[in-house]
Amino acid sequence: MALFGWAFGCQSEYQKDGAAYSAAVVGPYKGKPTIFLNGTPVAPVQYGLTDVPGGRWSWEEIPQHNIRQFCEQGIRLYQLDLFLEQFWQADGSLDLSLAKKQVDGVLEVCPDAGVVFRFHLNAPKWWMELHPEEMTRYDGVEPMPDEQLGFSRLVEADARIPIRASFASKRWQSEAREKLAAFCQSFSKTPQGDRLIGMHLANGVYGEWHQWGFMRNEADFSSAMEAHFREWLQKKYGSQTALQRAWADSTASFASASIPDTEERSHTSAGIFRDPQAERNVIDYYSCQHELVADLIIDFCSTVKENWPRPILTGAFYGYYFSVFGREAAGGHLALQKVLASDQIDYLSGPQSYYPDSGYQPGEPYRSRTLNHSLLLNGKLWLDEYDQQPRRVWPYQGLTENREAYEQALTANVSMIRRNVLYPLLKGQGLWFYDFGPASMHLHPNNQRNDQAGTNGYWDHPRYMETIGALKAIADTLLHQEYESGAEVLAVFDTESIKYTRSTRQQPCPITPQLINYSSLALFYSGALFDAIHLADLDKADLSSYKAVVFFNTFVMDAGSRALIKNKVAAEGRHLVWMYAPGYLDGNDFQSRFVSELTGINLKTTHYGEALKIIFGDTWTTLDPMEATAAYDPVFYPEDPEMTQLGTYQGLNLPAIGRKEQATHTAWYSGVPIVNPEVFRQIWKKAGVSIYTDNGDIAYGNHDWIMIHSKTAGTKVLPGGKEIETKSAPSTLLLERKSNRLLLE
């Protein structure tokens, strides 16, 4: 590794000599949300132990070794897991000894560290046995008890159909809140409490606020959730008459309203969409379920702030949008706007996207799970959980030398560590390294097995540590630079629309997962810089730098959103890219004319029982066909004499994709998700968008810096024509944007 011509002189100051952290807050600094410790801004880079036995206790030999190594590279923020049941005793007392030992273990090897507890609020097993009536219920299946084999993870069975307290249980809410408050009041008075800077509140599957059982089952059918749903309906509608009108059901009542079962959730009467007038009960239930989770996160964060005697960071896993396995409605995070609006939450976080092209292989893009730009616009810090294991290859296998493969793996891993860390940093956000390594977990699909696998951490190698130290220095420099996005493309997504489409495992939506996960992947491969935003945050965005705006699953738009797009977005010669059925629903009705009015392109509908495929023609004849992953209904097609047709539906011989020049902007429409990066590149060329790579390499960046990650070595042609010869494969370069000066090779 070489650093050229760059001075990393602005190092953050941390506490010295074990002094107390009297205040930890997130506030604006240089155009981005920033952590302040005792008034000093610090780079948002942490190291975290796992919850898995073998790697979870900070005082044990291997975890301490890794904490020490990260400390030597300048990292002073550490995250440790704790569970409610580890200190809440059955007699009601609190035992703080484990929490103290966790902090002490870090301070032994990194005396000026600040600690964040990942605080799991799961009800203890003894509590669940006392209160079986408070447990989550699933549709058609009985919950299964956890298997206790040796030192099993407390979250081991979370993703199955576990016995867990319902989110709607008022008893659990009250007692968990009470014990959390008592913990804060007591622990804050200890010497170890002086070093606690944050509480990361966790619950749900793997602590990530997913509904229990959401991966394969529908929940929650408990009496607690039913009671909560009825209360929610009463608050929303006020009168039984209003409920009956909304549900188009003269027999509906607050006393008898039931939770929609799997069959109801699978049914849609407007093609793949729910009719808002006929299926409002399902839409309402999903709104209720997701608002409950958001309210719980806000409430628990508020409990911490109210009971900690000085300012402390609060955060949670929330805001997942990409890579949610098609289970967004069942257990995703659809009340994002409510969480972003709360001043009780300082940061949100989540693991990187796990699919498609998960970043495990060289040349693939690393991607955050969330709509990054929306968090910035709302003043929230986002922290990626970097739990992606570098590929493990050993210098020997038994008595066989394996040096060549070993050296190749080290080179590739260094490149991917750079790529993965630079992505959130260049977005004005941060991350933590989450280390399953000491627990001997193998998460990389191409790992070689070795008996010594559990004796080191994921990043426990001198070359990885050197890389992380250099990246931490870059993070400190970025901290003190004014942040500007530098993106010329804005990608617009929606959460509300997910409630209006099919959403069960039996009947998944045939287009939403492709629009969210695969179309956005094509953006990364297109070579342009883009920001991802929630539809509801369009009014907060400064659009002056965006030459193109791409709308993905924006099926539901109210009058306010339509007017905003017409007056603010579809202006200044900008290019707007529309896919499938934007604005087809207004929340109360669905009409194809809504789509035509929004896009400015005359669109009609038809039906087709097979997966659609676009065959390109005219100037785009060299492009590969573009195909939907499943059949969907209705099918939209342009019938507009003023539109330039660029492709047709195979088998239908109807227009499928095209461009229309309008008075204030240019509109593009595609009837299937755009999953071909070259289609986006053709649009960028028309729109004047800067293309940093056109050969599948990955470009990230901001206003000042550009990072290029390449699977192959060779000559790289940069914007402006400058050429750089990369010596290794894969490679990750960092350049100054204006001069193309190489900062990191």
CB 71 within 8 A of CB 113: yes
Mean pLDDT along residues 703-717: 88
Place of tokens 């907060």: 540
What's the CA gap between 212 and 208, in Å, rounded? Answer: 10
Whether residue 4 is predicted with pLDDT greater than 50 in this model: the reply is no
Encode pLDDT of 509-554 as tens digits. 999 999 999 999 999 999 999 999 999 999 999 999 999 999 999 9
Query: For 142-249, where are the alpha helices, taking DSSP H only?
Result: 170-187, 223-237, 240-247
Whether residue 340 is predicted with pLDDT greater than 90 in this model: the reply is yes
Encode pLDDT of 463-485 as tens digits. 999 999 999 999 999 999 999 99
Percent residues over pLDDT 90 in the chain: 85
* Coil, strand or helix at 635: strand
Q: How many CB atoms are located within 10 Å of the residue 337 CB?
A: 16
Count how many Cα atoms sit within 13 Å of the Cα of residue 532 in the half-sphere of its side chain. Answer: 24
CB 674 within 8 A of CB 616: no
pLDDT of residue 485: 96
Whether residue 455 is predicted with pLDDT greater than 90 in this model: the reply is no
Encode pLDDT of 134-143 as tens digits. 999 999 999 9
Whether residue 7 is predicted with pLDDT greater than 60 in this model: the reply is no
Q: Which helix (H) or strand (E) holds 684?
A: helix 677-687
Torsion angles phi and psi, residue 596, rounded to 5: -65, -45
Give the number of residues written for the chain: 745
- Residue 11: pLDDT band (50, 70, 90) is very low
Mean pLDDT along residues 208-235: 96
Higher per-residue confidence, 396 vs 117: 117
What's the CA gap between 221 and 226, in Å, rounded? Answer: 7
Whether residue 105 is predicted with pLDDT greater than 60 in this model: the reply is yes
Encode pLDDT of 314-337 as tens digits. 999 999 999 999 999 999 999 999
What's the CA gap between 91 and 739, in Å, rounded? Answer: 66
Encode pLDDT of 14-32 as tens digits. 455 567 888 999 999 999 9
* Coil, strand or helix at 646: strand
Six token digits for residue 282: 């399902």
CB 692 within 8 A of CB 706: yes
- Specify burial of residue 712 (Cβ count, 10 A radius: 0-12, 13-18, 19+): middle
Whether residue 227 is predicted with pLDDT greater than 70 in this model: the reply is yes
pTM (predicted TM-score): 0.95
pLDDT of residue 740: 80
CB 200 within 8 A of CB 119: yes
Place of tokens 């097995």: 449
- Residue 380: pLDDT band (50, 70, 90) is very high
What's the CA gap between 290 and 329, in Å, rounded? Answer: 8
Q: How many CB atoms are located within 10 Å of the residue 221 CB?
A: 18
Encode pLDDT of 552-598 as tens digits. 999 999 999 999 999 999 999 999 999 999 999 999 999 999 999 99
Torsion angles phi and psi, residue 181, rounded to 5: -65, -45
pLDDT of residue 204: 98
What's the CA gap between 704 and 31, in Å, rounded? Answer: 13
Whether residue 451 is predicted with pLDDT greater than 70 in this model: the reply is no
Six token digits for residue 497: 């629309």
CB 457 within 8 A of CB 408: no
> What is the arrangement of strands in the sheet containing 626-627, beginning at the earlier edge strand?
530-534, 489-493, 548-551, 574-579, 665-670, 655-661, 644-649, 613-616, 626-627
Mean pLDDT of the chain: 93
pLDDT of residue 684: 97
Torsion angles phi and psi, residue 81, rounded to 5: -85, 140
CB 607 within 8 A of CB 633: yes
**DSSP character string of 519-569:** HHHHHHHTT--EEEEEGGGGGGS--TT-SEEEE-S--B--HHHHHHIIIII
Whether residue 3 is predicted with pLDDT greater than 80 in this model: the reply is no
What's the CA gap between 470 and 454, in Å, rounded? Answer: 26
> What is the three-state SS of 583-631?
CCECCCCECHHHHHHHHCCCEEEECCCCCCEEEECHHHCCCCCEECCCC
Mean pLDDT along residues 246-268: 95
- Residue 452: pLDDT band (50, 70, 90) is low
User: How many H-runs (helices) and E-runs (strands) does the chain carry?
Assistant: 18, 30
Nearest to 252 by CA among 281, 220, 286: 281
Residue 666 CA to its chain's centroid (Å): 31
What's the CA gap between 502 and 508, in Å, rounded? Answer: 5
What's the CA gap between 686 and 702, in Å, rounded? Answer: 22
pLDDT of residue 418: 97
